[in-house]
Chains A and B, each alone.
Chain A
Amino acid sequence: MNAPPIVAPIVPGAPAEELLKVRDLRKRFAIKGGILSRTVDQVHAVDGVSFEIGKGETLGLVGESGCGKSTTGRCILRLIEPSSGEVWFQGNDVTKMDHGALQALRRDMQIIFQDPYASLNPRLKVGAIIGEALTIHKLAPTQKAMEDRVVQLLETVGLQPDHMHRFPHEFSGGQRQRIGIARALAVEPKLIVCDEPVSALDVSIQAQVINLLEDLQEQFGLTYLFIAHDLSVVEHISTRVAVMYLGRVVEIAPSRELYDNPLHPYTEALLSAVPIPDPTVKRKRIMLQGDVPNPIRPPSGCHFHTRCPIAKPDCAQRVPELRESKPGHWVSCHYRG
């Protein structure tokens, strides 16, 4: 199990020391129906996703609702069991881990959630919420050690020691998000999956939390998988960005490169749709027609061909491979790059 994967690296150009490698990850959700609750259909939430994250790096994962980005994040942590594929973390395949190995993995991989109101147990005090990981993994031998560690974590995320005696409902959204971050930090993880950590927050609070995440990354050498739909936030925080559409990665590139030279027509349209907070900037906008197709019956060939401005007949037949167009810039399109 410790043998390195035999699969040839599909996405090179990543930093030398890679921490996480995802290979052809798939997740299908069954839709049950009928009296015998038989599987009548399947949602192809994640449909063959591959990428890797280097140590200390932030990989942004963007896409519109329903593109499978959150499911990908949860499959990596095995909060959702992937249907197939491999997730290599420090030389071990997460998808094949038994209970004990998974338990150990929990100390290395953590997650921060979107909704600061739903992500904290309303019946526990902040101290108990942050201290839970210490109890589970027996990281604090005494009550005193536990309290000291909680205080330390609270201070790390910019909260006060006496906050540990309060309940979540006594905090604002931004503060709750800080509590969620402290909880994830308690086990000293190497990788944190940030699932839309700022999308539920007000603009001025967003900046506070983004800055905090950047500071923590620097301080503890963290690696982030940063999932979001807000392209400006992702561009700001990420080293590299992967764009997803209907369960597949359509483009991966270093952050600046992606925004300056998007290759995939979807990335291009997505970027041009972002409103720029400057009335003097007038850009040409690529309008995508229609809505994202139903993931129960995704289009054949390239998933994007139904809305693509440059689609040709064979796009409906052939599935484009993710291939390297320039060093480090990968795109999955027959006609671009």
Chain B
Amino acid sequence: MPDTFVPDTLLDIRGLKTWFKTEDGMVRAVDGVDLHIDRGETVGVVGESGCGKTVTARSVLKLIDMPPGRFEAGQILWQGRDLIPLEQAEMNRIRAREIAIIFQEPMTSLNPVYTVGDQIAEVIALHQKLSPRQAMAGAAEMLRLVNIPNPQKRVHDYPHQFSGGMRQRVMIAMALSCQPKLLIADEPTTALDVTIQAQILELMQEMKEKFGMAIMLITHAMGVVAETCQRVTVMYAGKVVEEAPVEALFSDPRHPYTQGLIRSIPRIDRAVSRQARLESIQGTVPSLLNPPAGCRFAARCKYAMDICTQGIPPLKEVAPGHRVACVL
């Protein structure tokens, strides 16, 4: 990443470390993450459970409980301004209005005792000076935008009256109601069926074109990444192992972990079916309590050498915009 501030960069995370104090010791959930998102771009953050992708996302909005969590090091530059030292009140001005977030489980992110209209209107009214009637009208307009049929009537419905897919639409409507510059989507389709997932991904694409916001898409599904993102950051055990434009990542993955991840997924579009054995990555993810010295993937890597366990390989550029943290 260039050291000088590029005006087109919306979000620039530098060397972020978010640690959690537990009684067994310090869990280094995010341990030195660099990531940047430009205006209007969709960046995928992929990795398996416990790789720190969700903690990174929540760190951006400072939605981490502190304690036990704490920012150990790094900067989160939002349009050039570091968010980490910001006060609660200032942070609240940025939340929703500039950066919005949607979660995996749409049922638990909506308050069951208020109508969805109330909840969207509340977000709208929080950031714009509007009368309650105007805010409610705005809420209905948002529901119409996310293709919920009969929005004028459905604003008065409660979350449990919506299906899973519809609830995620409501969440998107709420997140977009203040026209944020960045939408963080934390596994937005993981809890949904494939046909509903396709609907939601299409909706997000449509909304992106309409509002021109950037999207940080956190997911474990490589297929979703391939279809929606321009750039991808691959995380493993709290660190970024590879970062590349989406075509380069899939055509020429450099890090052994990325390679393994891509090759371990069965593909329905290829006629190789079950004669071929799936390539699997042996072993399991290391504990973030006492992460191994050196490359964190070394224990599972088939190319691992002595040097891998000695020092942590830095991210280095192998092609324009394609950076890899591997000695190979």
Contact = CB atoms under 8 A, between A and B. Distances in A.
Given A279-B247, A287-B199, A204 B48 contact: yes
Interface residues of B, number: 47
A270 B199 CA distance: 12
A271 B281 CA distance: 27
A64 B194 contact: yes
Contact of A211 (B193, B199, B265, B280): B280
A235 B262 CA distance: 17
A211 B273 contact: no
Contact of B277 (A203, A214, A233): A214
**Residue among B227, B251, B279, B281 with most chain A CB within 10 A:** B227
A204 B264 contact: yes
B264 A275 contact: no
A232 B278 contact: no
Interface in B281-306: 281-282, 284-285
B247 A204 contact: no
A207 B251 CA distance: 21
A206 B164 CA distance: 25
B299 to A, nearest CB: 13
A256 B269 CA distance: 10
A231 B196 contact: no
A279 B281 contact: no
Given A206-B264, A277-B265, A279-B247, A174 B284 contact: yes
Interface in B9-66: 48-49
Interface string B156-174: 0000000111100000000
A273 B281 contact: no
Nearest to A200: B49
A203 B225 CA distance: 14
Contacts of A279: 226-227, 246-247, 250
Contact of B194 (A208, A229, A259, A283): A229
A236 B274 CA distance: 5
A233 B224 contact: no
B179 interface: no
B265 A202 contact: no
Interface string B243-264: 0001100110000000011101
A291 B196 contact: yes
| Contact-residue size bin, chain A (C-beta under 8 Å from the other chain) | 35 or more
Contact of A205 (B202, B221, B225, B284): B284
Interface in A227-242: 229, 231-233, 235-239
A232 B267 contact: yes
B268 A232 contact: yes
A65 B190 CA distance: 13
A278 B269 contact: yes
Given A175-B284, A203-B220, A279-B250, A271 B193 contact: no
A211 B267 CA distance: 15
Nearest to A65: B193
Contacts of A214: 274, 277
Interface string A191-207: 00000000000111111
A256 B271 contact: yes
Nearest to B264: A207
A275 B225 CA distance: 9
Contacts of A285: 198, 202
Interface of A: 64-65, 172, 174-175, 202-208, 210-211, 214, 229, 231-233, 235-239, 255-256, 259-260, 269-281, 283, 285, 287-288, 291-292
Given A214-B277, A232-B223, 16 more contacts: A203-B265, A204-B260, A207-B280, A208-B281, A232-B265, A235-B266, A235-B273, A259-B268, A273-B198, A276-B267, A277-B250, A283-B269, A287-B198, A288-B198, A288-B199, A291-B166
23 contacts: A64-B194, A64-B195, A174-B284, A204-B48, A204-B260, A205-B284, A231-B194, A232-B265, A233-B266, A237-B266, A259-B268, A273-B198, A275-B221, A277-B225, A277-B267, A279-B247, A280-B247, A280-B251, A283-B269, A285-B202, A287-B202, A288-B198, A291-B166
